[in-house]
Structure 1
Amino acid sequence: MDLGLRGKTALITGGSKGIGLHTAIVLAQEGANVAIVARGEEALRAAAETIRKETGADALTVAADVTVTEDAERAVSETVKRFGRLDILVNNAGTSAAAPFESVDLNAWERDLDLKLFGAIRFSRAALPYLKENGGAIVNVTASAAKTPGESSLPTSVSRAAGMALTKAMSRDLAPYGIRVNTVGIGLIRSDQIEKMWKRTAPEQSWEQFSRDRRHAIPLGRIGETSEAARVIAFLASDAASYVTGTSVNIDGGKAAAL
């Protein structure tokens, strides 16, 4: 299937590793120009080299902090200056911060919301004038667990739930401009954090054994790969999803209790 991405430009926050990096690779393979944003310049250089080796395409790298409005505006400006347009924004930057309510102080709440919720708001606001030009797509990366948060899941479950509400509200406001806004609810996907958990809790197991451990309670029977998440994100950003907006797609192997 031709996703209709050739010649379009995508900006991905948190693009130096994990789901962000693999999303950039998939989009570049489909012919899109890609700009990746992260705080660390060394990690960005390594990511750009990986993208080049995997796709033959050069990626623009922008060292920026999603919690700084000026950085968001600069990242968008540099992307448009390099490629002449901006069609796709993937708000992927974020970390997992999960603890019991009583142990989370106000500073931790503010940091998490600033990174995950306001980071997406900053980049969406900066990108909006350019997305309006041709119609475009925004994909907010959230978490399927935010729909049915469990114990000791704060503040991340609240930040991610806010991201889902943001997605729905933005989709209504931006539809008249031809801009689609969707979110993906990430479950257990292989990442640095998951690999650390594997090595900490089950060092005697191979990755295959750990991935398929029944304790994860994943109906499909294994932890997902970053490339699997990236392909769904690329689809939602593409012309193949031209009539899809304001929705959430779980990428969690069926683990979430909610649709």
Structure 2
Amino acid sequence: MELGLSGKVAIVTGSSKGIGLQTALQLVKEGANVVLCARGEEDLQKAAAFIKAETGEEVLVVPGDITKEEACKRIVQKTVDHYGRVDILVNNAGTSSANHFESVDTDLWQTDLDLKLFGAIHTSKAAIPYMRKVGGGAIVNVTAVLGKTPPANSLPTTVSRAAGMALTKAMSKDLGKDNIRVNTVCIGLIRSNQIESMWKKNAPELTWEEYSRDVVGPSIPLNRIGETAEAANVITFLVSDAASYVTGTSVNIDGGSGGTL
């Protein structure tokens, strides 16, 4: 299948590791020019070196704190200054913050919303005018499947992620006339540093495959934890020409564990 990504310019936030890094790698493999963004420059440079080793291609590194609107504008401007355009934005930056409702203070609510919701808002607002100039674009907001069915002790993350889903739908309605598509992926259990730490702490005698299948797998219909590349593949499809008639939707990447469509 031809994805039509060759020569496109993509910004991926939170791309120094995990799903963001794997998405950036996949986009480069498909011929896109990619901009890596995260707060830590050292980790970004390591990510850029990893992509260069895997593909032979250079990526642009732009450190920045997307909780700050001016940083979001600067990231987009540096992209345009370097590549001359913006076609794709993957709003991936985020962390997990899960607590009991009464234990979440005002500062934590604000920090979480600034990162997961307003970061996507500010970066999108900065990128959209440049997408219009090239006749359209694609935005993917990375959220979480638990945002659809929040369990106990899951705040503020599930609220921020649910807001990201609503943002996606509203943006898709506003921007469809400009041929700018907006979708969200809802992430379930995907291999990460946090999950690997749990594995090494709780079951060091098991291989990763055994831990994924035998310890965590029984709670997931596909009977294993997902890999970052599997999430990246879905994101890459959604920003590609192969998904040209897909907008305003959410795709669960959770091995079937979610309780909603």
Is residue 120–residue 141 contact of structure 2 (8 Å, CA) maintained in 1?
yes
Percent identity among equivalent residues?
Answer: 65
Q: What is the CA–CA distance in structure 2 between the aligned matches of 1:224 and 1:231, rounded to whole Å?
A: 12
AA partner of residue 180 (structure 1): R
Report the Cα offset of residue 54 of structure 1: 1.2
Spell out the pairing of 1:188-207 with structure 2 (5 A cutoff): 188-207=189-208
Report the Cα offset of residue 142 of structure 1: 0.2
Partner of 2:256: 254
In terms of mean alpha carbon deviation, does 241-250 or 49-58 score higher? 49-58
SS at match of 2:67: coil
Is residue 216–residue 224 contact of structure 2 (8 Å, CA) maintained in 1?
no
Report the Cα offset of residue 112 of structure 1: 0.4
Is residue 214–residue 221 contact of structure 1 (8 Å, CA) maintained in 2?
no
Report the Cα offset of residue 214 of structure 1: 4.9
Partner of 2:142: 141
Q: What is the CA–CA distance in structure 2 between the aligned matches of 1:104 and 1:213, rounded to whole Å?
A: 34
Q: What is the CA–CA distance in structure 2 between the aligned matches of 1:213 and 1:146, rounded to whole Å?
A: 26
Is residue 16–residue 38 contact of structure 2 (8 Å, CA) maintained in 1?
yes
Q: What is the CA–CA distance in structure 2 between the aligned matches of 1:36 and 1:218, rounded to whole Å?
A: 32
**Is 1:113 the counterpart of 2:113 in the alignment?**
yes
Q: What is the CA–CA distance in structure 2 between the aligned matches of 1:136 and 1:34, rounded to whole Å?
A: 14
Q: What is the CA–CA distance in structure 2 between the aligned matches of 1:142 and 1:13, rounded to whole Å?
A: 13
Spell out the pairing of 1:43-192 with structure 2 (5 A cutoff): 43-133=43-133, 134-192=135-193
| TM, length-normalised to structure 2 | 0.97
- Structure 2: where are the runs of 5+ without partners? none
- Structure 1: where are the runs of 5+ without partners? none
Is residue 165–residue 250 contact of structure 2 (8 Å, CA) maintained in 1?
yes
Partner of 2:246: 244
AA partner of residue 218 (structure 1): I
Report the Cα offset of residue 249 of structure 1: 0.3
Partner of 1:229: 231
Is residue 22–residue 230 contact of structure 1 (8 Å, CA) maintained in 2?
yes
Is residue 97–residue 155 contact of structure 1 (8 Å, CA) maintained in 2?
yes
Report the Cα offset of residue 145 of structure 1: 1.1
Q: What is the CA–CA distance in structure 2 between the aligned matches of 1:215 and 1:89, rounded to whole Å?
A: 32
1:60-83 Cα distance to aligned partner (Å, 9 max, x none): 000100101111111000111111
Q: What is the CA–CA distance in structure 2 between the aligned matches of 1:117 and 1:197, rounded to whole Å?
A: 28
Q: What is the CA–CA distance in structure 1 between the aligned matches of 2:114 and 2:212, rounded to whole Å?
A: 32
> How well do the aligned residues superpose, as a CA RMSD in angstroms?
0.9
Report the Cα offset of residue 202 of structure 1: 2.4
